[in-house]
Amino acid sequence: MDIVNIITKKKDNKELSYDEIKYAVEGYVNGDIKDYQMSSLLMAIVINGMTDEEIFNLTEIMLNSGDKLDLSSISGIKVDKHSTGGIGDKTTLVVAPLVSACGVPVAKMSGRGLGFTGGTIDKLESISGFNTSLDMNDFIKQVNDIKIAIATQTGNLVPADKKIYALRDVTGTTESIPLIASSIMSKKLASGADKIVLDVKVGKGAFMKNIDAAKKLSEIMIKIGKRFKKEVVALITNMDYPLGRAIGNGIEVKDAIDTLIGNGEERFTKLCLVIASYMVSLGKKINVSDALDLVKEKLDNKEAYNKFLELVKYQGGDINNIDICKNKYDIISDKEGYITDIDTLKLAEFANNLGAGRKTKEDNINYGVGILLNKKVNDKVSKNEVIGYVVSDENVDTTSLISYFTIKKENINEIDIIYDVIK
């Protein structure tokens, strides 16, 4: 078998066999196939796509490239969630305690972020003392003890995806539904959950820019789940605007806490409740309406908030010591009217330049910096009103930030956070 023939075959839009895909993936992982050869194959896939069978095979080959977690010793149905990524996405910090408080075990392996702000692990590490590095025995014991644990990926999970993803990131081959689907699902299948809920973002701040593409991605991931005998539900959700009020790390933890005590931004709270209700529905084998009632009850009676406190304490964190910079620099409105648009990516880039995210894997994150918004889309503002602020220990010029907000005389139609549910 020869990699050049495989590249040529995919370039000619012909279906690759299981053995050909395996040869390419394994050869790249062990170094026999070079970066430039694999990038050529990936570009051919981006251009010509893959059949369902090719996607199933690629997922299976990447899944089998490393360890797979065995969560069978955790009692109950384990339901995992995955978001395709968003600005201000601290959803796991709210959803996991909600689901756990309903009696469904949450064994969550999460990652650090490479991009505008940190990942779930980075956000948790802004809590002083919080230990995200649990060995599997401690991880499983914790879930059995308190029904929730959030930790970094342990072992050698899906090394083929890690190496291929790093190459995609620097060769313009990230935007491919087959490659995105196989990457996400190989990791989710390796993580050992019984059922999976996917939060597929669409909009200006997401990989998927339109709903049709998001639906196609959702549908193929659900097909992959069925192929591997895993029930998968996908929610198509709005990523045109920041999730919640905060963009950063420590400041997003505070935003999550506000949500858990009932003071969260309305659209973000709705997103968390709906995601949690589908997870609880799958985990308890009840209908979604009953699950939503239960999830709302756990939010209202503060059991979910207490579960978050229990999680933090169990993993060594001090909830009273979250890294948030003390200095505030106001974002001031330059006119009166309604906020009709927010340039989410520009805000995220600003936060990234403050140090809230990584530009390379080796970068250190500044957990304390971030942006908090007092106003959301459709809110009325007055001229010279403070509509948000930047937190930073360094002096920050915020005068350019108002240009990221569109303010007009009339408001716009109500914007929903959830577009569709695909099963």
- Output the CA–CA distances (angstroms, integers) from residue 250 to 88, 110, 125, 164, 391, in the order listed: 11, 17, 8, 31, 10
d(CA 287, CA 8) in angstroms, rounded, equals: 49
Annotated catalytic residue within 82, 123, 163, 284: 82
Our answer to whether residue 187 is catalytic in this structure is: yes
d(CA 152, CA 156) in angstroms, rounded, equals: 12
Q: What tokens does 250 get?
A: 């420590």
Q: Per-residue b/e over 99-125, b at no fewer than 16 CB within 10 Å?
A: bbbbebbbbbbbebbbebbbbbbbbbb
Annotated catalytic residue within 22, 90, 187, 267: 187
Apex CA 111: angle with CA 355 and CA 298, to 5°?
100
d(CA 317, CA 149) in angstroms, rounded, equals: 13
Provide DSSP, 172-214. Answer: T----HHHHHHHHHHHHHHTT-SEEEEEEEESTTSSB-SHHHH
d(CA 224, CA 82) in angstroms, rounded, equals: 15
Our answer to whether residue 227 is catalytic in this structure is: no
Our answer to whether residue 82 is catalytic in this structure is: yes
What's 262's DSSP letter? T
Instruction: Name the region of 27 (left: φ>0; alpha: ψ -120 to 50; beta: rest).
Output: alpha
d(CA 204, CA 419) in angstroms, rounded, equals: 15
Annotated catalytic residue within 78, 147, 168, 375: 168
Annotated catalytic residue within 161, 194, 255, 323: 161
AA identity, residue 193: A
Annotated catalytic residue within 39, 65, 100, 183: 183
Specify the 3-state DSSP secondary structure of 48: helix
Which active-site residues does the annotation give?
A: 82, 161, 168, 183, 187
